[in-house]
């Protein structure tokens, strides 16, 4: 089992790198990763619950954005950076959920059935959607319905 940091505050915005990028923390069967936020070409701030994407090569490992149209994202990979746990602005640091029952309700499209897979939304900033055959799934629905809430999706980005 990997080492996890202690004494982290899941919803805190950090102005400096208080943990190494990519550090992981665990709380209540949920895994979080420490990330640096980049607002991208569209100057899109991160919102708690938004799905984020890693930037392409040449940027720091652990640097993420919610600007899915940014030229700084390798759109052929769209590697998930997890679900932000705090509102982050450009060059701020924070925690992103990468595993476990979702802690903050996400922005999502479509009506879910139990066990539906969700993927990065290619049109809604920070969103997730059902239908997608080109990207890796980021969450599984645990309940049927629209606008699933806390614990109703299971995040599957990085296993503990």
pLDDT-based confidence at 156, cuts 50/70/90?
Answer: very high
pLDDT value at position 4? 93
Residues in the chain: 160
**Which pair of tokens denotes residue 141?**
């629905």
Cβ partners under 8 Å of residue 9, min gap 6: none
Give the whole-angstrom CA distance, residue 110 versus residue 25.
31
**Which pair of tokens denotes residue 44?**
């899109």
pLDDT over threshold 50, residue 76:
no
What are the percentages of helix, strand and coil residues in the chain, rounded to 5? 0, 35, 65
Q: What is the pLDDT of residues 27-38, one digit of tens each?
A: 999 999 999 999
Answer with the residue of higher pLDDT: 81 or 122.
81
pLDDT-based confidence at 119, cuts 50/70/90?
Answer: confident
pLDDT value at position 73? 65
Query: Where exactly are the structural domains of the chain?
Result: 24-100
Q: What percent of the chain lies above the pLDDT cut of 70?
A: 90
Answer with the residue of higher pLDDT: 133 or 26.
26
Where do we find the tokens 């102005």?
Answer: 15
Q: Rank 58-67, 78-87, 90-99 by mean pLDDT and report only the highest.
A: 90-99
From residue 82, alpha-carbon distances to 34, 38, 98, 103, 145 in Å are 10, 14, 5, 12, 22
Where do we find the tokens 């805190």?
Answer: 12
Average pLDDT, whole number, for the chain?
Answer: 87
pLDDT value at position 68? 76
Give the whole-angstrom CA distance, residue 54 versus residue 137.
15
pLDDT over threshold 50, residue 111:
yes
Contact between residue 86 and residue 104 where contact means Cβ atoms under 8 Å apart: no
pLDDT value at position 75? 46
* pLDDT mean over 126-147: 84
Give the whole-angstrom CA distance, residue 124 versus residue 146.
16
Sign of CA dihedral 84, 88, 91, 92: negative
């Amino acid at each position: 089992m990997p080492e996890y940091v202690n004494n982290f505050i899941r919803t805190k915005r950090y102005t400096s790198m208080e943990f190494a990028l990519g550090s992981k923390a665990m709380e209540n069967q949920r895994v979080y990763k420490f990330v640096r936020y980049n607002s991208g070409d569209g100057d899109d701030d991160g919102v708690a619950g938004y799905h984020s994407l890693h930037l392409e090569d040449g940027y720091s490992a652990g640097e993420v954005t919610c600007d899915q149209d940014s030229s700084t994202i390798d759109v052929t990979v769209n590697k998930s950076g997890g679900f932000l746990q705090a509102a982050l602005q450009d060059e701020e640091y924070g925690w992103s959920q990468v595993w476990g029952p979702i802690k903050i309700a996400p922005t999502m499209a479509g009506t879910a059935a139990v066990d539906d897979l969700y993927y990065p939304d290619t049109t809604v900033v920070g969103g997730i959607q059902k239908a997608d055959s080109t990207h890796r799934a980021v969450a599984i629905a645990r309940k049927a319905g629209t606008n699933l809430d806390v614990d109703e999706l299971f995040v599957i980005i990085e296993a503990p």
